[in-house]
Structure 1
């Protein structure tokens, strides 16, 4: 079976991480994730991240470095997470989400993250704490 990569963006701005609440499908609606989506054939994972964040949130971003690890989403799909920086725009929930929140490193446990996002969220929070304000 071919495994497709789903890329999640640990989008950081002013020392905070963007969390997005899923509105669909029903089995994950109401839970929180790092926004992103599937890489298309022939597209690099960083390119996919920039495209997906533009489509889902209406913002321009830059993929920075990948958070080590990969996490199964469902059979045939694996999550890779990249740190990302906001270049322009104000994120808005355009597709798949009904709410967005900017969370500081000490607020990351205030939302119900999807299980596959939790390890990367913890690492992104650790990096934010080390970096302080960017």
Structure 2
């Protein structure tokens, strides 16, 4: 069985990382994640990332590079993270989220990340040069 891919954006702007608070489904509501979603049939991960950020945040973003590694989600699914730059628009929580927050390196662990996003956020912080000053 081939693993299905969920892409997440490490959206970086002025040295800060965008985090999104889930509003759905109920078991994930109130926890934070890197925004993104499932790669659909016929899409590349980069195309999926662009589409998901448009649908979820109402922005145009440019995928930059993939954060090394991938992380297991539910059986048959893996998470891949791409750094991305904001091209146009101001992120707004349009779909599946009720709040957004730009986090500095010092604030990276001020939000309760989804359990499956924690290792991805660590790897993203290392990859993007966000020094994890809280020691987590």
- For structure 1, the 5+ residue unaligned runs are none
Matching residue of 1:62: 62
How much does 1:120 deviate?
2.2
Matching residue of 1:49: 49
2:129, 2:84 → 1: CA distance?
12
1:24, 1:106 → 2: CA distance?
27
Which segment drifts farther, 60-69 or 111-120? 111-120
- For structure 2, the 5+ residue unaligned runs are 132-136
Matching residue of 1:124: 124
1:45, 1:13 → 2: CA distance?
21
1:13, 1:99 → 2: CA distance?
17
Matching residue of 1:114: 114
2:120, 2:43 → 1: CA distance?
22
The answer to whether the Cα contact below 8 Å between 1:16 and 1:128 also exists between their aligned partners in 2 is no
How much does 1:117 deviate?
1.3
How much does 1:42 deviate?
1.0
> Secondary structure in 1 aligned to 2:56?
helix
How much does 1:76 deviate?
1.7
Matching residue of 1:86: 86
How much does 1:3 deviate?
1.8
Q: CA RMSD in A?
A: 1.2
How much does 1:68 deviate?
0.9
The answer to whether the Cα contact below 8 Å between 1:93 and 1:99 also exists between their aligned partners in 2 is yes
Matching residue of 2:6: 6
Matching residue of 2:31: 31
How many residues of Structure 1 are paired with residues of Structure 2 in the alignment?
Answer: 130
How much does 1:125 deviate?
2.5
How much does 1:87 deviate?
0.5
